[in-house]
Structure formats: structure tokens, C-alpha cells
Structure 1
Amino acid sequence: MCACSFAKCIGITLIPLSIVCVLCNILLFFPGGESVESEHITEQVWYFGGILGSGVLMIFPALVFLGLKNNDCCGCCGNESCGRRFAMLSSILFAAVGVIGAGYSVIVSAVAINHGPQCKVSNGDPMKGWDYPFSDGNYLTNKTAWSVCLEPANVVSWHLSLFSVLLIMGLIQVALCAVQVVNGLLGCLCGDCCSCCGGVSIIHS
């Protein structure tokens, strides 16, 4: 498989991962599946790690990777070798953007998991009863402590599940973009982006 084809496979994989991350971030605006006041939404949700980091910033490298196979990367001002290397060099730059975006999402998700969700912890004034009762992260190993959150219902499991998905998806995206950096570097140095094109030319000749 030539470098362009491999990059296309990575791009195809990144698209659904990005969609999942965007959906998870959107669902986090409805803790426990309920609509709440904006000030009661967990702070890290507003950092848009899934929408911006693993979503929007990941779409650009994914589209570039998808287009490498169809680009005329076998030609650059009549210089075949130049075209191959330039195409793979551009993929390295966009892969770096992907690593930064996914890395941002991973950091936001990790912080959110450690801090826990914002929830109502008392039956008093609803404007004063909302807090972050798990700011030290102890709830991860003590599931019985989740009962301290009275509203929204199941907010802890909702928060933990969605941010965990964002964390895992972000790590996968970082790994895929890192692989493309290596793939692009090899293609840039070796000029084998369209070795398969060369093979076709030889056969027809």
C-alpha cells in the first residue's frame, strides 16, 4: 500500500471519530439527559474539547488525508518527485494540527473526569445548592458517593461516560495523526507517495 492510500485509510477513520466527539460534547450540555440553566452546566463542557478539538480541528487533516490519493501528487511543475514530497509534507503539517486538536480534547476530558460534574447537592435554594462535590476525584473509586448529587438524575454516570468516550476517542485520534506524521515523513523522504502510480505506468509501458 502506497503512502497516499494509507493516509486515506486514516482519514476515513478520523471522520466518524470526529462525529462521535461532537455528539458527545453536545450531549454534555444536557447533564443526565435534562435541560438545565447554563450556569449549572459543568465548566469543562464550555471548553468545547469535543466540538473544537476532536471535531472541527480534526476535520481539516481528515479531508487532507482523504484527498491525497486523488490529488495529482505525481506531478509538480513537471517534476514527479517534487509533487510526491510536497503532498506528503502538507499531510505532516495537517497531522500536527490534528494532534494539537485531539490533545486539547484529551486534556479537557481528563480534567473534567478528575473534577467531576456540577450538580445539586442540597434541597435548599436551587441557585445556591449547585456545586462540584467531587473536585478531588475521589468519586472514581467510590461509586456510593455518587448519591450526593440530587439533580440532575444520573448526572455522574452521564458525565463520566461521555467524557471517558471523548478521552478515548481523543487518544485514538492522537495516535492516528502521529502515525500519519511518520507515514508522511517517509513519503516525503522516499518520494513514494504514488509508487502505485509508477507501478501502473510501468505495466502499461
Structure 2
Amino acid sequence: MCYSVGFTRSLGLALLPLALCCIVANLLLLFPMGEITYIQQDRLASYIWFFGGLGGGGLLMLIPAVVFITLGKCSCCWNESLMMCGSALAAIIGLVGSGYCFVISGLTLMQGPHCFTSLGWSYPFADQNGRYLLRPEIWSQCLQPLNIVEWNVTLLCVSLGLAVLEFIICLLQLGNGLVNAICRPCCYKQEYSLNA
């Protein structure tokens, strides 16, 4: 079989822990420092509610992971073309999911946390276009939740990194599927000539 099923399955197995880590990171963003009071009082940054890690990098990424892992279970000849199309479609879904996670995580980082300052609840770093990330000395402006800037920056950077890895894996599989779709007729010709 010309189609590299083993490679695709290994990509699917790599996607599973990345997707689960994205889900965990997004869930932790909902509970700053492990406290539930801020979600109850609607004191979280607005972009956190877009669920970039939970939806895009997590649940949506489970589709390509499952498709890649279960690829080739049926070895019928007519299914091989469907496998290629299915894996390419799943890879595109994964690219969309990881892209969404990356964009939402980036926007949340740029906006900064919603926190209590000396002026009340606000986004103290929203007008800085992310420059606050390079100035940890001003993070103490956020009085509540305690250490919210460090909490958000850590989890959002993790989400960004995971989204990049997911994007690369799905891009690899998309390329793999397209190359195999183009080369498949050549493989059949070679098999036919060898069998003849």
C-alpha cells in the first residue's frame, strides 16, 4: 500500500495529548488561581469566553486525531481513495481548529487580564498592544485575582505553543494526503506491471 497509514496514525496519536492539554489549559483559564468566584461574578477576560483552547485546539482537534488513528482499518480498495479524502478533510478541520486556538489565545494575551486595580475592575493593559508582557514590573497593578497576569500569560503561551504544534501536524498530514493522492495512480501502475 502506497498510502503511509503508519505515519498518519502516529500523527493522530500525537494530536491526542496536545488536544487534551489545550482543553485543560482553557479550563484553568476559567478558574484563576483555582478559584470559582471570578467565573461566578463574570470577572474573566472577554476572549476567554471564546473557548479557543477548549473548542478549537481541543474538541475540534479530536476529529482529525480520531480520523488519523482509525485510518486504514478497512483495507478495501475503494476505501483507500476515501481514506485519503477523509484524512485530508480532517487535516483541514484540524488546521481551522488550531488556527482558531492560536488567534483567540493571541488576542487574549494582547488584551491582558480583566482584574481589580486601584481604579476598579478593568483591562489595565488593553491599550498597550501586548507591551505589558515585556514589563513584569507593572503586573502588580492587578490586585485581584492574585497573580492573574502570570496565570494568564503562562496558560495562554502554552495554548499558543500547542496550537502551533497542532497546526504543523495537520499540515504534515494534509501534505501527506495530497502527495499520496497524486502518486496513487503511479503506485497502481507499478503494482500492475509487477503482477503482470
TM-score by length of structure 2 reads 0.87
Confirm or deny: 8 A CA contact 1:84 1:187 kept in the other structure: no
SS at match of 1:96: helix
Q: Quote the residue 2:9 is aligned against.
A: 8
Q: Quote the residue 2:47 is aligned against.
A: 44
SS at match of 1:40: coil
Q: Quote the residue 2:90 is aligned against.
A: 94
Confirm or deny: 8 A CA contact 1:18 1:55 kept in the other structure: yes
Confirm or deny: 8 A CA contact 2:11 2:169 kept in the other structure: yes
Q: Quote the residue 2:72 is aligned against.
A: 69
Q: Quote the residue 1:79 is aligned against.
A: none
Select which of 96, 103, 125 maps to 1:134: 125
Rounded Cα–Cα distance in structure 2 between residues aligned with 1:187 and 1:176: 16
Deviation at 1:84, TM superposition (A): 2.2
Deviation at 1:115, TM superposition (A): 1.1
1:151-172 residue CA offsets vs partner (Å, 9 max, x unmatched) = 1111000000001100110011
1:104-128 residue CA offsets vs partner (Å, 9 max, x unmatched) = 0000001111111111002x7xxxx
RMSD between aligned residues: 2.0
Higher helix share: 2
Confirm or deny: 8 A CA contact 2:72 2:80 kept in the other structure: no
* Letter of the structure 2 residue corresponding to residue 170 of structure 1: A
Rounded Cα–Cα distance in structure 2 between residues aligned with 1:71 and 1:169: 31
Rounded Cα–Cα distance in structure 1 between residues aligned with 2:163 and 2:74: 28
Select which of 146, 151, 159 maps to 1:166: 159
**Structure 1 range deviating more: 1-10 or 137-146:** 1-10
Q: Quote the residue 1:28 is aligned against.
A: 29
Rounded Cα–Cα distance in structure 2 between residues aligned with 1:173 and 1:65: 13
* Letter of the structure 2 residue corresponding to residue 5 of structure 1: G
Q: How many residues of Structure 1 are paired with residues of Structure 2 in the alignment?
A: 184
Rounded Cα–Cα distance in structure 1 between residues aligned with 2:4 and 2:178: 10
Confirm or deny: 8 A CA contact 1:88 1:184 kept in the other structure: yes
Q: Quote the residue 1:186 is aligned against.
A: 179
* Structure 2, gaps ≥5 residues long: none
Over 3 Å counting, the alpha-carbon distance change for 1:27 and 1:47 in structure 2 is same
Deviation at 1:2, TM superposition (A): 5.0
Over 3 Å counting, the alpha-carbon distance change for 1:184 and 1:162 in structure 2 is same
Confirm or deny: 8 A CA contact 1:86 1:188 kept in the other structure: no
- Provide runs of 4+ in structure 1 moved above 6 Å: none
1:11-39 residue CA offsets vs partner (Å, 9 max, x unmatched) = 00000000000000000011233221342
Rounded Cα–Cα distance in structure 1 between residues aligned with 2:57 and 2:74: 25
Q: Quote the residue 2:105 is aligned against.
A: 109
1:54-80 residue CA offsets vs partner (Å, 9 max, x unmatched) = 1111101110000113232x422xxxx
TM-score by length of structure 1 reads 0.84
